[in-house]
Amino acid sequence: MIGDLGAWDATALADLVARREVSATELLDAALAAVAARNPAINAVVLVQEEAARRAIADGLPEGPFKGVPLLLKDLGCEAVDFPSHNGSRLFANTRYPGNSAIFDRIRATGVVTFGRTTSPEGGIGAATESVVYGGPTRNPWNLDHTPGGSSGGAGAAVAAGIVAFAHGSDGGGSVRIPASNCGLFGFKPTRARLPDGPYSGEGWAGMAIDGFLTRSVRDTAVMLDACMGADLGAPYVAPSLARSHADSISRPPRRLRVALCDTDFTGRAIDPQVAASVHKAGAMLADLGHHVEPACPDADVPMMMRAWTDIVAIGTALSITTAAKGRPLEGLVEGVGRGTIAHAATLPPWRYLEAVGEIHTFGRQMARWFDGRFDILLSATLSEPPAKVGRFSHAAEDYVNYRIGPGMVFDYSPFCAVFNASGQPAASLPLGWSEDGLPIGIHLAAPFGQDEALIALCAEMERAQPFAGRRAAMAG
């Protein structure tokens, strides 16, 4: 009786299970049928563990807010005993874990039925998902010639295709918000350290990376964040406490806010006219809702931040690859961009990592000063243009620095998202715009550090003003 999973958000599906109108087994069967029917076209779902999912149902699911709802994990991080991972790379193919990560245990406690993983680019350092280990690129359900983004590209594609109502992702430079923008979904990056990293990682990319979720509704993200937030045992630092839960925050409108509208990138360069027009439409919506909107762009040192981000990620990726390779030749195991991180890291002086972390922290303070006393929200595009074509951000190229910060490459395409990974501020992408070709365009909102409640409350208010869950890709039913 549920029809297509793409017609429901996870909260609605959980309500059906609670009222015994559908069973967890029936939802799992529907998700697996959708994988069989749709995944060949988009190549988003991998490492399906049907037996583990059915065993979890048989053993009795936790009494959580999403009891019985199918969920997919990103194939990068979120380590779990029952869910081996390729981590987007032939080098790490079929990695098994001796214990569960804290984030997985918290996700599992919500009662979800996890049954597989979703594709990611090698190392999570791309704005597209085209890893060789998966046998081909992951494609956007809205138009198969385009990318769903990265690095949580498989998660975005799976939700947009109606395979699952929501999916786990992670975000170290926009990796939840980029797929949300490209796939017509909601993506929220919490304040740094809001969610646990351990025990497999002390911190991701000097604290810039954090887990998250790709959802069709704001409420699904809010409830999942409430279930998963909080430091794990031994965490090096914690996020500021919230005055109220995310779910409580979205139940009431925020106070009227001071909104800065930036219709360029944060260095003043023009973006695609269709995208800029979508930003202005979002600004008009906020003004109609009674918020004060004025044009303004941050004056923080974005080029410094982008170079520091590039170096930190290169060093971290090079460490991961060389440790796992154990002296083996990398050709045939690691893609070009991954090999390029090693080459670039080798050119850096030993102190560069700490220097780059210091620059990231300086940048965060610059952003905090710009917001302080002037603005509550910064409104921009999520990406500078509509979804890119498949192949544009292939990992075959070995010039890692050019891949990230070269003309027309990742930071030109995605000049907004990584800013808030560096500053640690909460940020979100809402599917409020559409290109002339019918492709999604994300609208980006960011709030001061620790102000997650105000941001998600505003997202919910905008969702009520312009509901977006009902607009779906054709293959989603």
Residues 209, 351, 362, CA angle at the centre, nearest 5°? 55
Q: Is 152 a catalytic residue?
A: no
Amino acid at 304: M
Report how far residue 160's alpha carbon sits from residue 30's, in angstroms, rounded to the nearest whole number. Answer: 15
Report how far residue 64's alpha carbon sits from residue 111's, in angstroms, rounded to the nearest whole number. Answer: 5
282: its two tokens: 């979002």
Q: Is 249 a catalytic residue?
A: no
Phi first, then psi, for residue 196 (nearest 5°) are -75, 150
**What is the residue-wise DSSP string for 368-387?**
HHHHTTT-SEEEEESSSSSP
Phi first, then psi, for residue 411 (nearest 5°) are -75, -25
Q: Which of 341, 351, 347, 353 is nearest to 312 (CA)?
A: 353
Q: Which of 103, 81, 421 is nearest to 232 (CA)?
A: 103
Could you give the 3-state DSSP secondary structure of residue 445? strand
Edge-first strand listing for the sheet containing 166-171: 45-46, 113-118, 70-74, 166-171, 210-215, 186-189, 427-434, 440-446, 377-381, 258-261, 292-295
* C-beta contacts of 274-278 below 8 A and 24+ residues apart: 274/386, 274/433, 274/435, 274/436, 274/441, 275/381, 275/383, 275/384, 275/385, 275/386, 275/433, 275/441, 276/381, 277/433, 278/381, 278/432, 278/433, 278/434, 278/441, 278/443
Among the options 101, 151, 170, 278, which is catalytic? Answer: 151
Among the options 89, 120, 175, 414, which is catalytic? Answer: 175
- End-to-end alpha-carbon separation of the chain, Å? 15
Q: Where are the beta strands (DSSP E) in 16-165?
A: 45-46, 70-74, 113-118
Q: Is 151 a catalytic residue?
A: yes
CA torsion angle 218 223 224 229 (round to 10): 120
**Do the Cβ atoms of 441 and 181 come closer than 8 Å?**
yes
Q: Which of 146, 153, 41, 35 is nearest to 88 (CA)?
A: 153
Over the range 118-138, which residues count as b (16 or more CB within 10 Å of their CB) and which as e? bbbbbbbbbbbbbbbbbeebb
**What is the residue-wise DSSP string for 261-320?**
E--B-TTS-B--HHHHHHHHHHHHHHHHTT-EEEE----S-HHHHHHHHHHHHHHHHHHH
The residues annotated as belonging to the active site are: 74, 151, 175
